């Protein structure tokens, strides 16, 4: 019990430090008014195309369920996720449990060049809050989908959809949308053209989250897990 009490105190202390650092970094971080311009710049550098299109419902539900289930109600950061991450860090020998919201992930892509560490993480917290004050949830999700890496050289949802399945995002099936949503955690490791078994395993996790959050019926999730993917084995954008 003494160890548990000390661990809890340490976790709470870490949470307070992260939140305090986030508040401080909010005042120090730059404006996010240029976020959409940064998306265009990144897309040009990465060769992504078809920016600004609405994110299809199946992919939006899949990415939110698996990456940030409180996306539509949180202010850019998830206190529950931060507390869980702090607790797991203390009790799991430094293992990173995640906990970043989609807004924090977007801030990481656009402003901190993908870097991690206490200072960068705190800066991402401040930037995530600013993104939510400046843009709608739909705009944030759109910018995220336009810049995130899906593996196999595909940046952005449109190129990933056309590259892996030879269809535009609006035509993705639930099986395909959930697989794409699963790739963002480890794009190279889950590349379905190279590691289909791992990609399928992650897809099943995403479908489980969709069922757990009530977005799809369990029976529909099971059907999608068994459905064919119709992969474009050429591995090049085909639409």
Q: In terms of residue numbers, what domain contains 193?
A: 149-239
Q: Do 6 and 105 reside in the same domain of the chain?
A: yes
Provide the domain count of the chain: 2
pLDDT in the model for residue 221? 98
- Could you tell me how far CA 210 lies from the centroid of its own chain? 15
Q: Do 190 and 169 reside in the same domain of the chain?
A: yes
Residues 85-105 have pLDDT tens digits of 555 555 554 444 456 899 999
Q: Do 144 and 161 reside in the same domain of the chain?
A: no
Residues (pLDDT < 50) of the chain are 93-97
Q: Do 45 and 139 reside in the same domain of the chain?
A: yes
Q: Do 182 and 88 reside in the same domain of the chain?
A: no
Q: Do 159 and 95 reside in the same domain of the chain?
A: no
Answer yes or no: is 59 within a domain.
no
Whole-angstrom CA distances from 109 to 13, 38, 143, 180 are 28, 10, 10, 18
Q: Do 93 and 43 reside in the same domain of the chain?
A: yes
Q: Do 204 and 114 reside in the same domain of the chain?
A: no
Q: Do 96 and 183 reside in the same domain of the chain?
A: no
Answer yes or no: is 61 within a domain.
no
Q: Quick count: other Cβ atoms within 10 Å of Cβ 178?
A: 31
Q: Do 188 and 97 reside in the same domain of the chain?
A: no
Q: Quick count: other Cβ atoms within 10 Å of Cβ 80?
A: 12
Domain at 165, CATH number: 1.10.3810.10
Answer for the pair 169, 157: CB distance below 8 angstroms, yes or no.
Answer: yes
Answer yes or no: is 65 within a domain.
no
Whole-angstrom CA distances from 106 to 19, 109, 148, 203, 229 are 19, 5, 8, 22, 28
| Dihedral angle, C-alpha 163, 166, 171, 174, nearest 10 ° | -70
pLDDT in the model for residue 127? 94
CA dist 223 and 26 (Å) reads 44
Q: Do 105 and 205 reside in the same domain of the chain?
A: no
Answer yes or no: is 60 within a domain.
no
User: pTM of the full predicted structure?
Assistant: 0.83
Q: Do 123 and 205 reside in the same domain of the chain?
A: no
Answer yes or no: is 64 within a domain.
no
Looking at the DSSP bridge assignments, the partners of residue 149 are 155
Answer yes or no: is 135 within a domain.
yes
pLDDT in the model for residue 99? 65
Answer yes or no: is 158 within a domain.
yes
């Amino acid at each position: 019990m003494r160890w548990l009490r000390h661990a809890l105190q340490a976790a709470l202390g870490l949470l307070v430090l992260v939140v305090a650092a986030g508040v401080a970094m909010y005042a120090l971080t730059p404006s996010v008014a240029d976020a959409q311009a940064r998306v265009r710049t990144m897309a040009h550098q990465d060769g992504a195309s078809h920016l600004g299109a609405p994110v299809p419902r199946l992919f939006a539900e899949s990415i939110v369920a698996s990456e940030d289930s409180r996306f539509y109600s949180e202010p850019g950061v998830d206190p529950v996720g931060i507390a869980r991450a702090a607790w797991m860090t203390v009790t799991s020998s430094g293992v990173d449990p995640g906990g970043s919201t989609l807004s924090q992930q977007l801030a990481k892509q656009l402003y901190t060049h993908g870097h991690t560490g206490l200072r960068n993480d705190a800066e991402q917290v401040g930037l995530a809050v600013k993104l939510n004050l400046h843009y709608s949830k739909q705009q944030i999700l759109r910018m995220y989908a336009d810049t995130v890496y899906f593996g196999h050289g595909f940046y952005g949802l449109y190129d990933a959809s056309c590259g892996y399945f030879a269809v535009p995002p609006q035509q993705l099936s639930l099986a395909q949308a959930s697989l794409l949503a699963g790739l963002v955690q480890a794009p190279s490791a889950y590349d379905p053209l190279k590691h289909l078994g791992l990609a399928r395993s992650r897809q099943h996790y995403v479908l489980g989250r969709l069922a757990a959050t009530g977005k799809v019926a369990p029976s529909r999730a099971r059907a999608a897990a068994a459905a064919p993917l119709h992969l474009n084995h050429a591995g090049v954008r085909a639409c």
